[in-house]
């Protein structure tokens, strides 16, 4: 028979164990990803990742307080159900229903991106939020006013103090918290991932599609992130005066180059390209096979026998689409950790 004393000790040990586990869960909070992913580009540096910091970033991401008239949040244009691209619109509306000239990109695996924006104009995830907050067609606000508005909410003051220590809220803390939230948006649970992990097999069409993809697309949309994050021209017809990368470098050789987007979740992130000009993947594949123009900065990888374009038969297209379908991560778009 177990004596009372021992029973008490056992009970105590159990409680101790549970509380230790809880501590462990907390310290375990971190960026996790499959072993076939490269090391992330963003290493957090002085911005120590914590659950509270991440949750504060999440609260800010969904809060329209960051915009001048408190109507637009980051999530207004970056919707989880679409892998954080916009809800089926080519050009998102910001404050006062204004629109810019570019399509809202999806947001996931951002800790691996060396540059941001379609023109690669931003090179650090911690300064990324400044652009939409201060852009006059997106949120139209200035950082001093955002800080002043947040300070009026005792709940925010408490949460900032908990993450960053007892000092007044400042812009840098807002950027840090948002960087924590954005970096944690890892999408790595698609059928393709389960295939890579040996947990699921691909159908023969999907398998053929993967081969075609590796031959014709993967040089730029490189596995496993499905982008090499370089800036390139893929032969789109020129419809407006958006110079892309050329706007940043002012070099002739960079005009009309845009950042290669990841194709993970691509079925969910329509419409496509920097200006959202294509509504369907069929239109995208028609572009690659017969719609390309011979721009002087067209990427040489997209030339076949001196002509712009990648030959694709109708059957190739069906198989490619079957493969692209395996890149959807339904666990990611419904993960409550990332939701409001």
Choices 35-43, 142-150, 192-200, 230-238; region in contact with ligand HEC by CB under 6 A = 230-238
Q: Is 29 helix (H, G, I), strand (E, B) or coil?
A: coil
Q: What is the DSSP string of 192-215?
A: HHHHHTTSS---HHHHHHHHHHHH
Number of residues interacting with ligand HEC: please give it, by CB under 6 A: 51
Q: Is 332 in the site for ligand HEC (CB under 6 A)?
A: no
Indicate which single residue of 175, 245, 258, 332 sits in contact with ligand HEC (rule: CB under 6 A). 258
Choices 38-46, 117-125, 154-162, 196-204; region in contact with ligand HEC by CB under 6 A = 117-125
**Residue numbers 150-169 binding ligand HEC by CB under 6 A:** none
**Residue numbers 97-116 binding ligand HEC by CB under 6 A:** 100, 102, 104-105, 107, 110, 113, 116
> In sequence order, which residues have a C-beta less than 8 Å from that of residue 15 and are 6 or more positions away?
none
Q: What angle do CA 334, 337, 338 make, to 5 degrees?
A: 70
* Residue 26 tokens, joined: 């907390």
Indicate which single residue of 184, 188, 320, 333 sits in contact with ligand HEC (rule: CB under 6 A). 320
Nearer to ligand HEC, 21 or 40 (CB): 40
Indicate which single residue of 284, 292, 322, 327 sits in contact with ligand HEC (rule: CB under 6 A). 284
Indicate which single residue of 163, 188, 266, 292 sits in contact with ligand HEC (rule: CB under 6 A). 266
Q: What angle do CA 133, 81, 187 make, to 5 degrees?
A: 85
- For 192, half-sphere exposure in the C-beta direction (CA atoms, 13 angstrom radius) is 24
Indicate which single residue of 31, 59, 147, 219 sits in contact with ligand HEC (rule: CB under 6 A). 219
C-alpha 146/C-alpha 156 separation (Å) is 12
C-alpha 271/C-alpha 88 separation (Å) is 6
Indicate which single residue of 146, 185, 268, 273 sits in contact with ligand HEC (rule: CB under 6 A). 273
Beta strands in the chain (DSSP E): 231-232, 258-259, 303-304, 307-308
In the chain the first and final C-alpha atoms are separated, in Å, by: 52
> Contact residues for ligand HEC (CB under 6 A)?
66, 72, 74, 76-78, 92, 94, 100, 102, 104-105, 107, 110, 113, 116-119, 128-129, 132-133, 138-139, 178, 182, 216-217, 219-221, 232, 234, 236, 258, 260-261, 263, 266, 269, 272-274, 284, 288, 299, 301-302, 310, 320
């Amino acid at each position: 028979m177990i004596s009372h004393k021992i029973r008490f000790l056992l009970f105590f040990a159990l409680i101790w164990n549970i509380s230790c586990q809880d501590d462990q869960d907390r310290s375990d909070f971190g960026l996790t990803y499959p072993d076939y992913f490269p090391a992330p580009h963003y290493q957090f540096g002085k911005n120590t990742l914590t659950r509270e910091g991440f949750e504060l970033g999440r609260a800010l991401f969904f809060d329209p307080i960051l915009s001048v008239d408190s109507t637009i949040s980051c999530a207004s244009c970056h919707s989880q159900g679409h892998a954080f691209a916009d809800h089926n619109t080519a050009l998102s509306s910001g404050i006062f229903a204004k629109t810019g000239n570019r399509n809202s990109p999806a947001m996931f695996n951002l800790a691996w991106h060396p540059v941001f924006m379609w023109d690669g104009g931003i090179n650090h995830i911690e300064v990324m939020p400044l652009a939409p907050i201060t852009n006059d067609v997106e949120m139209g606000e200035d950082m001093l006013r955002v800080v002043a508005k947040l300070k009026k909410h005792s709940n925010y003051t408490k949460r900032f103090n908990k993450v960053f220590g007892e000092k007044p809220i400042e812009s840098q803390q807002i950027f840090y918290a948002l960087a924590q939230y954005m970096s944690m948006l890892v999408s790595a649970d698609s059928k393709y991932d389960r295939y890579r992990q040996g947990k699921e097999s691909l159908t023969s069409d999907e398998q053929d599609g993967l081969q075609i993809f590796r031959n014709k697309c993967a040089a730029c949309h490189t596995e496993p992130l499905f982008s090499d994050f370089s800036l390139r021209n893929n032969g789109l017809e020129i419809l407006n005066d958006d110079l892309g990368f050329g706007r940043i470098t002012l070099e002739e050789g960079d005009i009309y180059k845009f950042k290669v987007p990841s194709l993970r979740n691509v079925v969910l992130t329509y419409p496509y390209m920097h200006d959202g000009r294509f509504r369907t993947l069929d239109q995208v594949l028609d572009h690659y096979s017969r719609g390309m123009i011979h721009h002087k900065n067209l990427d040489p990888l997209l030339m076949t026998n001196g002509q712009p374009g990648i030959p694709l038969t109708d059957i190739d297209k069906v198989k490619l689409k079957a493969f692209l379908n395996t890149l959807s991560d339904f666990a990611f778009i419904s993960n409550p950790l990332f939701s409001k």
